[in-house]
Chain A
Amino acid sequence: MKRRGEHGQDSKTARAAPRKAGPRQRGLENYVTHHLRALFASLGQLARAPLATLMTAAVIGIALALPAGFHALLASVQAVAAGWEGDMAQISLFLKPSIKDDQAAGLAKRLRGMREVADVRFISPQQALAEFEQSSGLRDALAYLNVNPLPAVLVVRPGEKYSTPAAARTLLRRLESMTEVDSAQLDLAWLERLHAIIGLAARGVWLLAMVLAVGVLLVVGNTIRLGIQNRRDEIIVTKLLGATDGFIRRPFVYGGMWYGLFGGLIALVVVNGLLLGLSGPTQQLAALYHSGFRLELLGGLASLIVLGVGAALGWLGAWLAVSRHLRDVEPV
């Protein structure tokens, strides 16, 4: 039955192929045909043992899901943190006492024209005093002062690209050197801590991903090693008939690639499932904190990367295993 199906395919390809192809072209066609055949034969091999294939793919899937899931969480946190950055990276410019309000307003206008600056808020000495009276509760004490000791202040909010600690610091130095400015202040401690935490988490995810990648290589390698043992006789016969190492390696390497690809698919299902499951409660919690935080599902590019990394690790693991064990299987 099986054979008949292949014959059908045979006659189809024969019709599609040009009658007289050059030997080189025919060689290339055969090469591609053999690779395709090995690709699908290895898929068929896996399909014949669906449970074992599923188990191996699931192990790979879970190993891939962990770093992918953490990455998705981290991406969501980073998206929120980027929103905070703009609010937190504020530079307060304390102007010299000699600067009049209209000069300060002029400076504010100039600053707004700079591309690093998103927004400038002018606080006159009177406003500042009023604010201070309110927030400090020292109204009566302040009434004894006959001059307002507070300087005019320009609160500069850097643009999105200039909100990182390093960029904000550069902007601070520039603004500090302006003649109208007495001193400038940038409160970066919070921002730097946040960046340090995110950086640490990102590094952690990377290291975890690398450890788990080695795990995937070992899982695939071990599965392929067992496959080589099971097909020992077949390998010996093909070697006796003049098969090259590449020919023998091919189905195993493609098999490893399939394992990795299926593992990647399982990882996508697991990660998106977890994120969906968490999204409701997370939004409730975020709403209680008046935060716009929400969990994002893995995007198209991230999904492709998970699949690609899975397939590549499967391919590599199989290649390493076959290269390592093929020489042990020699005809005697």
Chain B
Amino acid sequence: MIEFRKVGKRYPSGHAALTEVSFVLARGEMAFLTGHSGAGKSTLLKLIAFIERPSSGEVIVNERNLNRLERGHIPYHRRSLGMIFQDYRLLQDRTVFDNVALPLVIGGEYDQRETGRRVRAALDKVGLLGKEKYYPLELSGGEQQRVGIARAVVHKPVLLLADEPTGNLDPDLSQEIMALFEAFQRVGVTVLIASHDHDLIARMNHRVLTLQQGNLRNGTAEAPAS
């Protein structure tokens, strides 16, 4: 699903965020991306979503080489992904329903009835079915993050990217959200989660990619024994 071939990313300031990173994430796999802050986790996710372009090497997502992606095709590439952000990135002036419906509205494939059905299914999955008329600021942080997750999965993406999804949440909520991700993986979605919550990662038995100053320490390692 994701393949990095000797990917380097150097910012105009000269800072090298990633150097020669290579790994393969198979379809349906779930993995954690970990490392200290500034180790390049966010950069790596941004390369997959084509928010950043690599300075060297190749990024292949869903059998598509992003180096050959034209500007006009970027939106269609992003529609195959579901992205979850640490700061949720919800639209504050829209209801929960409208926020979650946004990927479907952008995709433009479904009529209102089908859109409503899918939005309610996604909200049901994250346990927020009763809150569709609320505005994001009326919800707790955990609930907002779950709205973000519902929005990321409403259009049934093949790949789920999460950047510190539990960064602002207490341990119980974090555990709940991780269980959600596992549920998605079970139905065939590839999941990549950037997190520095070592305790949480250690408790779950998934592959771990560790970044250290822009280098991937062990691309094929299993979860470290705790």
Contact = CB atoms under 8 A, between A and B. Distances in A.
Interface of A: 2-3, 6-7, 9-11, 13-14, 17, 26-27, 29-31, 33-34, 233-234, 236-244, 247, 330-332
A7 B112 CA distance: 9
Contacts, number: 74
Interface string B69-80: 000100111110
Contacts of A30: 108-111
B45 to A, nearest CB: 11
B201 interface: no
B103 A14 contact: no
Nearest to A247: B106
A34 B111 contact: no
Contacts of A330: 51
Interface size of B as a range: 20 to 34
Q: Which of B75, B79, B83, B109 has the most CB of A within 10 A?
A: B75
A13 B111 contact: yes
B105 A242 contact: no
Interface of B: 49, 51, 72, 75-79, 81, 83, 89-91, 95, 97, 102-103, 105-113, 116, 132-133, 151
A242 B106 contact: yes
Contacts of A29: 111
Contacts of B111: 13-14, 17, 26, 29-30, 33
A240 B108 contact: no
B89 A240 contact: yes
A244 B116 contact: no
A240 B87 CA distance: 14
A236 B102 CA distance: 13
Nearest to B89: A237
Given A34-B105, A240-B49, A14 B75 contact: no
5 contacts: A2-B95, A34-B105, A239-B78, A241-B78, A247-B108
B83 to A, nearest CB: 6
Nearest to B106: A243
Contacts of A244: 72, 75
B103 A241 contact: yes
A21 to B, nearest CB: 9
B100 to A, nearest CB: 11
A244 B107 CA distance: 9
Contacts of A241: 78-79, 83, 102-103, 106, 151
